[in-house]
Amino acid sequence: MTKPLSDIVQDIKPSGIRKFFDIVSEMRDAISLGVGEPDFDTPWHIRDEGIYALEKGKTFYTSNAGLKELREEICNYQKKHQGIEYNPLSEVIVTVGGSEAIDIGLRAMINPGDEVIIPQPSYVSYEPCAILAGAKPVIIDLKAENEFRLTAEELQNAITDKTKVLILPFPNNPTGAIMEREDLEKIAKVIIENDIYVMSDEIYGALTYKGEHTSIASLAGMKERTILIDGFSKAYAMTGWRLGYACGPSEIIKQMTKIHQFAIMCAPTTSQYAAVEALKNGEEDVKMMRQSYNQRRRFLINAFKEMGLECFEPFGAFYVFPCIKEFGMTSEEFATRFLEEEKVAAVPGTAFGDSGEGYLRISYAYSLEKLKIAMERLKRFVDKLRALQ
Amino acid sequence: MRDELLSIIEKNSRIAINELAVLLGKEEIDVANEIAKLESEGIICGYHTLINWDKTSIEKVTALIEVKVTPQRGQGFDNIAERIYNYPEVRAVYLISGGYDLLVTLEEKSLKEIAGFVSDKLSTLDSVLSTATHFVLKKYKDHGTIFDKKHEDEREIVTP
């Protein structure tokens, strides 16, 4: 019998912190700081709209690219917040989470051997999706001294004549780093000079705590070479609805829609109706949640300062990324001991790439009360480690 | 800062000034001054505790009373509202648009006491034309807080 498995799939390494996840999953009583999703429920009026869609029997497929009304609302949103004008009929596709958009976006653009530049630490899907699409991933290790922003020099040094796409994951999971307009302008210049494309994952865009988020697609000459990915999971606390979207040049969206049509058909209809409500009437909810995240962010940064733990101030997403190098342990050792000795689960930075070594991802998608207890335990833990040094 | 400060202490009036300063990203002294100002301007009117009396052994009966009144010349509804809200057992008085004029919330130890208040005190006021009393059977949610609902975190412990 021939071997049943694909070599490409087998070669993709499983998450390097399998062991840590296994220990965590057996500790039900641990306080977790480990999730990558909001602690808020989806606002009721949005859930209600989903329920109403079911009641009215809206249980059919939508068009492949998504409900026209939803695509129009997405275009309104991007125009209002970024000043970018997309055509709802040809430049938008509604996907099953931002994750699907990453996958089909890469598959639509990659020829065998093309290089995809991936700055790390970053979300775990980019590298495997690039490999599955037949690309060669080229990793840029982002640096703490730049507050984990991508610099034009780093980008220029990673570009070869095979480079096709840069993945630009800001606001960033796991570091919380953002890219401001002046940072993006320098990146855009390199992109245009080298005639490459950008896949800008802006799923945390609405969760920015220093001015309003800027999309690289809004800069001159960039709309035609950017796939903008966003969605409803983080901003509207809708992770379980599995709904995201991509906006970009019609020639790319057209091919993405082709893959989506054959692989997925369409995003869940109930979720799409709920998402229309989210975009129409959800701005106050986002504002309220952002304010709450921002308070927790300030609380954590202050707690680190008080315990003398090095951490740059992140202005996006709902993560902080403190440095634990002073304790002479790997991220995984630190996270494992922290879990075993204090029963708090935080994710080792190395889960998001080798350059996450020496850091810990702490999520603040938790109530202040929980964060307070967790920080008391972290303080006790680092005090103990320092006393032993 | 004012709006955000109010929204925090509306939910948690016991929070310490130094904690509040951290959450707001402001200096403690500025936060303390702002609170003092809000108090003196009568924007912060008190720091109360939300109690679910149903869980205690203390008997409490709450009634909502719709009141129709004749407004008085030059006074509108203010005078009659004052005569009603001065009774300590009256918890709240609102001027309402629609089918009646005043909504009075009353809290007493027994149904009998409420009946007594309505028949002896409220109905006998000159400008009161009629009343309709509704008793609260169960409080599900009060002051934005849902009673008796535990919110369990059902998320996975660790997700990327």
pLDDT at residue A2 tops 70? yes
The domain boundary residue, chosen from A252, A281, A310: A281
Q: Is A297 a domain residue? A: yes
ipTM of the complex: 0.85
Q: What is the DSSP letter of A300?
A: H
pLDDT at residue A28 tops 80? no
Q: Is A169 found in the same domain as A66?
A: yes
Q: How far is A309 from chain B (nearest CA, A)?
A: 17
Q: Is A88 found in the same domain as A178?
A: yes
- For residue B103, the SS3 value is strand
Question: What's the CATH number where A172 sits?
Answer: 3.40.640.10
Q: How far is A370 from chain B (nearest CA, A)?
A: 11
pLDDT at residue A45 tops 80? yes
Q: Which residues of B touch A285 (CB under 8 A)?
A: none
pLDDT score of B121: 94
The label of the residue with tokens 């690039």 reads A130
Q: How far apart are CA A9 and CA A5, in angstroms?
A: 8
Mean pLDDT of A197-209: 98
Q: How far apart are CA A368 and CA A349, in angstroms?
A: 23
pLDDT score of A182: 98
Q: Is A175 a domain residue? A: yes
Contact B22 A299 (CB under 8 A): yes
Contact B158 A34 (CB under 8 A): yes
| Segment holding A152, helix H or strand E | helix A152-158
Q: Is A318 found in the same domain as A171?
A: no
Question: What's the CATH number where A300 sits?
Answer: 3.90.1150.10
Tell me what the pLDDT averaged over chain B comes to.
Answer: 93
Contacts of A244 (CB under 8 A, 6+ apart): A94, A95, A96, A97, A98, A99, A100, A101, A203, A229, A230, A231, A232, A233
Q: What is the DSSP letter of A383?
A: H
Q: Is A49 a domain residue? A: no
Q: Is A140 found in the same domain as A21?
A: no
Contact B160 A39 (CB under 8 A): no
Contact B22 A298 (CB under 8 A): yes
For A238-370, list the strands marked E by DSSP.
Answer: 244-247, 319-320, 344-345, 347-348, 360-363
Contact B157, A25 (CB under 8 A): yes
Q: Is A30 found in the same domain as A76?
A: no
Percent above pLDDT 90 for chain A? 94
Q: Is A255 found in the same domain as A330?
A: no
Q: Is A99 found in the same domain as A179?
A: yes
Predicted confidence band of residue A20 (pLDDT cuts 50, 70, 90) = confident
Q: Which residues of B touch A347 (CB under 8 A)?
A: 158, 160
Q: Is A377 found in the same domain as A236?
A: no
Q: Is A166 found in the same domain as A311?
A: no
Predicted confidence band of residue A16 (pLDDT cuts 50, 70, 90) = low
Q: Which residues of B touch A27 (CB under 8 A)?
A: 157
Q: How far apart are CA A73 and CA A237, in angstroms?
A: 18
* Residues of chain A that touch chain B, judged by Cβ-Cβ distance less than 8 Å: 15, 21, 24-25, 27, 30, 32, 34-37, 39, 123-125, 173, 291, 295, 298-299, 302, 345, 347, 351-352, 368
Q: How far apart are CA A150 and CA A216, in angstroms?
A: 13
Taking domain B53-139, whether its CATH number is 3.30.70.920 is answered by yes
pLDDT at residue A386 tops 80? yes
For B17-89, list the strands marked E by DSSP.
Answer: 61-69
Pairing of strands B141-142, B145-146: antiparallel
Q: Is A1 a domain residue? A: no
Dig out the tokens for B69 from the structure: 């009144």
Q: Is A289 found in the same domain as A269?
A: no
Mean pLDDT of B76-84: 93
Q: How far is A361 from chain B (nearest CA, A)?
A: 10
Provide the domain count of chain A.
2
CA atoms within 13 A on the CB side of A63: 13
Among B25, B155, B158, beta carbon nearest to A21: B158
Contact A126, A118 (CB under 8 A): yes
pTM: 0.93
Q: Is A195 found in the same domain as A84?
A: yes
Q: Which residues of A touch B25 (CB under 8 A)?
A: 298
Q: How far apart are CA A25 and CA A11, in angstroms?
A: 26
CA atoms within 13 A on the CB side of B49: 4
The domain boundary residue, chosen from A236, A265, A281: A281
Dig out the tokens for B39 from the structure: 């108090």
Pairing of strands A347-348, A360-363: antiparallel
Q: Is A351 a domain residue? A: yes
The domain boundary residue, chosen from A223, A249, A281: A281
Tell me what the pLDDT averaged over chain A comes to.
Answer: 96
Q: Which residues of A touch B19 (CB under 8 A)?
A: 299
What are the structural domain ranges in chain B?
A: 2-40, 53-139
Q: Is A231 found in the same domain as A99?
A: yes
Q: How far apart are CA A164 and CA A78, in angstroms?
A: 25
Give the domain extent around A361: 7-42+284-388
